[in-house]
Amino acid sequence: QKEVEQNSGPLSVPEGAIASLNCTYSDRGSQSFFWYRQYSGKSPELIMSIYSNGDKEDGRFTAQLNKASQYVSLLIRDSQPSDSATYLCAVNQNFGNEKLTFGTGTRLTIIP
C-alpha cells in the first residue's frame, strides 16, 4: 500500500465549477499536510498547508483534513484555465520530521 495515494486523473472540470481533489494517507501519526501545484515541466509550488481537522480557506482554495479517516482534500472554487496543472499531496509524519512523502499527483484540466 502506498503511503500517500491520489487518483492520477486526468480530472476534467468546466471553467467556473468546483474542482475536488482527494488524497489518503496510511500513517495515522501524520501531523502536517500540504498541497503543491505543479505545471508541466516546472517545479512544485506550495498552495496550501493544513495541520488541524476541518477546513482551511485561502482565496479560491479550501483544504479539508479528516485525520480519523486519514483523508485530505483540496477544493478549487470558480476554476480557471490557469488552474490546469498536476496537484501533489504531501504528508509530514510528525512535527520536526525531516521528510515529506508525496503522492503521485492528480492531473487537473479546466475546460473553457
Partner 1 sequence: DADVTQTPRNRITKTGKRIMLECSQTKGHDRMYWYRQDPGLGLRLIYYSFDVKDINKGEISDGYSVSRQAQAKFSLSLESAIPNQTALYFCATSDPGQLSNIQYFGAGTRLSVL
> Which residues form the interface with partner 1 (CB under 8 A)?
8, 32, 34, 41-46, 49, 51, 88, 90, 92, 95-100, 102-105
Q: Report the nearest approach of partner 1 to the CB of residue 48 (Å).
A: 11
Q: Report the nearest approach of partner 1 to the CB of residue 102 (Å).
A: 4
Decide whether 77 or 94 has the Cβ nearer to partner 1: 94
Decide whether 42 or 77 has the Cβ nearer to partner 1: 42
How many Cα atoms within 13 Å fall on the side-chain side of residue 112? 2
Q: Report the nearest approach of partner 1 to the CB of residue 104 (Å).
A: 4
